[in-house]
Structure 1
Amino acid sequence: MVKTIGIVSLSSGAMGEEFAEHEVKIGLKRLKEFGANVKMLPHALNGIEYIRNHPEKRAQDLLQAFQDPDIDMILCAIGGEDTYRLLPYLFDHGELRNAVSKKIFLGFSDSTMNHFMLHKVGLNSFYGQAFLPDICELDTTMLPYTEMYFRELISTGSIREIRPSDVWYEARIDFSPSAVGTPLQRHRNEGFELLQGRPRFSGQIFGGCIDTIYDMFDGTRFADSPGLCEKYHLFPELEDWKGKILLLETSEEQMSPEKYHQALLYLKDTGVFSVINGILIGKPEDEDNFEEYKALLLEDIGIPTLPIVCNINIGHALPRCIIPFGVMAHVDTEKQKISFK
């Protein structure tokens, strides 16, 4: 049972801005109702400019959260775009390895970088939700599917299985105070889709947001990102990927098919597709470019026997489940479930 949640801003500092005050208030109230105490790490509410200009303070907050014996769970405030800049402050002198302790770490999007950092020091983490986008949902409650998995995680410390949501929601556009209490437009969800390969396969899941993974190899957005990721060996060696299941989902920036193609080619060049047991693809936000992505997955990967399962409710499309990294997962598309042991 999670008693205390530490909230960190490791990428964007949006949580500390005045425009988000009403969202933060909603989220803190919900966490209290869930029975959790909350600690805001020292710099978590310092705002966008401060957080952008002080990656060393973001790293300091993460280290402090791991070292605080009262904190059971570390929850990312939101994603962002430059979490890779924490690397020198976490790895130059073994800071993260020396500080890390067994706690729940939950985040998604640009927090993919943090998941890769924690994997590097041997800590299993949880992918799929964050404070502002999920706990602070402006409707009268959290989205039921999202809340179900969050409650399971904080009450048991694990996720037993995930199944498809019955519905998916269009992305919220208005986050102003006037939008509080307004529902999202919903649509019927079609469930897990087996794109190719066998319907049942197993392995430990690892991966994240393909936009962020792309930044590990391509310097178009941040010129220094590939160099830093290579210096600290952030992307695991091929041996580490053997037998795993690769998770990929796309951000709210709705990656163009051309860029998606390039991202898949970067991954293909690593050799990862030749050693993994399968791929899970998150539903894109508002299902944008979904059919184009599917066609590219088949064409670019070029391994017909490799299972690819699409339409997982994970990442930037609403609602969101939570996927544990580093534990054995059993995917069964015929039974429409992914179970964990």
Structure 2
Amino acid sequence: MVKNVAIVSLSSGIIGEPFVQFEVEIGLKRLKEYGLNVKLMPNACKGLEYVKAHPEKRAEDMLAAFRDPEIDMILCAIGGDDTYSMLPYLFENNELAETISNKIFLGFSDTTINHLMLHKVGLRSFYGQAFLCDLCELAPEMHPYTRKYFEELITTGTIREITPSDVWYEERVRFSPDQVGTRTPAHPNQGFELLQGSPVFSGKILGGCIDSMYDIFNGDRYADMPVLCEKYHLFPEAEDWKGRIILLESSEEKPTPEQYRKSLEYLKERGVFDAVNGVLAGKPMDETYAEEYKQLLKEVIAKPELSIVFNINIGHAMPRCIMPFGVEATVDTGKQIIRFAE
């Protein structure tokens, strides 16, 4: 059972900005109502400008949280777009490998890069939720589906199975104090959709936000990101993907079909789809480009026998489950369930 939680800002430092403090207070209150002791790491709340300018301080916070014997869970504040800049401070002298301990690590979006860092040093992690995005939800309570998985994680230390949400929610467009207690429109959810391949397949899951993976190979956002990711061998080799299931979910930037195609092509060029046992694709935010993404997954991967499942409630579309990485999983679309062995 989780008792002590450390909150880290490994990408954006937004939780230190005055305009989000009313949200932060909501999230801290909910964590404390669970009986959790919360530790905001020293640099987590220093604001957007400071956190962006000091990747070495972000790395210090991450390492310190792993070193602290009292911390049970490391919860990422939010994503962002430049957590890759921590790479030299975590890998140049094997800092992360020499520091990691068996703690729960939870985050999503740009935190995909942190998950790949942890995979590189052999630590399992959990993908799907974050502090500001989920614990600080402005509705009267966390979304029930989201809350169910968060509660399971903090009470059992793991996730046993994932089933689809009955509904999905439109993205909130206004974040201000007058929105506290309001809900966004909900719509019926269609469940896990098998696009092709066997309805039952197994493997350890790895992956995350397809936008972040795109930036590993494309320097349009940050010219040095592909350089650093290559230098520190961040992206797993094709052999490492053998027998795994890759998770792909898209960000709030709602990548165009053209960028989505290019992202899939980058992964294909690196032998990912020749190695994996299956593909899990997240529901896009507001279902934007859903039909185009489904077509592109089949068209670009071009392996009709490879199982592809669409519409997983994870990542940027509300509500969100939590998915263990590095644990043997069995996907059964007929029974609409993903089960985890441990």
Counterpart position of 1:119: 119
- In structure 2, stretches of 5+ residues that fail to align are none
Counterpart position of 2:14: 14
Q: Does 1:322 align with 2:316?
A: no
Q: Does 1:248 align with 2:248?
A: yes
Counterpart position of 1:71: 71
Hey, what's the Cα distance between the residues in 1 that align with 2:126 and 2:214? 21
Structure 1 residue matching 2:217: 3-state secondary structure: coil
Q: Does 1:147 align with 2:147?
A: yes
User: 1:208-250 CA distances to partner (integer Å, 9 max, x unpaired)?
Assistant: 0000000110001110000100000000111111000000000
Counterpart position of 1:106: 106
Structure 2 residue matching 1:75: 3-state secondary structure: strand
Q: How far has the Cα of 1:260 moved from its partner?
A: 0.5
Hey, what's the Cα distance between the residues in 2 that align with 1:184 and 1:34? 25
Counterpart position of 2:204: 204
Letter of the 1:84 counterpart: Y
Hey, what's the Cα distance between the residues in 2 that align with 1:340 and 1:19? 40
Q: How far has the Cα of 1:265 moved from its partner?
A: 0.6
Superposition RMSD in Å: 0.4
Q: How far has the Cα of 1:114 moved from its partner?
A: 0.2
Q: TM-score, normalised by structure 2?
A: 0.99
Q: Which runs of 4+ in 1 moved over 4 A?
A: none
Counterpart position of 1:188: 188
Q: How far has the Cα of 1:192 moved from its partner?
A: 0.2
Q: How far has the Cα of 1:105 moved from its partner?
A: 0.1
Q: How far has the Cα of 1:162 moved from its partner?
A: 0.3
Structure 1 residue matching 2:147: 3-state secondary structure: helix
Q: How far has the Cα of 1:205 moved from its partner?
A: 0.3
Hey, what's the Cα distance between the residues in 1 that align with 2:35 and 2:243? 38
Counterpart position of 2:53: 53
Structure 2 residue matching 1:216: 3-state secondary structure: helix
Hey, what's the Cα distance between the residues in 1 that align with 2:263 and 2:47? 31
Counterpart position of 2:165: 165
Counterpart position of 1:266: 266
Q: How far has the Cα of 1:325 moved from its partner?
A: 0.3
Q: How far has the Cα of 1:76 moved from its partner?
A: 0.2
Structure 2 residue matching 1:194: 3-state secondary structure: strand
Hey, what's the Cα distance between the residues in 1 that align with 2:281 and 2:91? 30
Aligned length: 341
Q: How far has the Cα of 1:35 moved from its partner?
A: 1.2
Letter of the 1:336 counterpart: Q
Percent of matched pairs sharing the same residue: 66
Q: How far has the Cα of 1:184 moved from its partner?
A: 1.2
Hey, what's the Cα distance between the residues in 2 that align with 1:256 and 1:195? 20
User: 1:15-64 CA distances to partner (integer Å, 9 max, x unpaired)?
Assistant: 11001100000000000111111000000000000001000000000000
Letter of the 1:139 counterpart: A
- In structure 1, stretches of 5+ residues that fail to align are none
Letter of the 1:119 counterpart: H
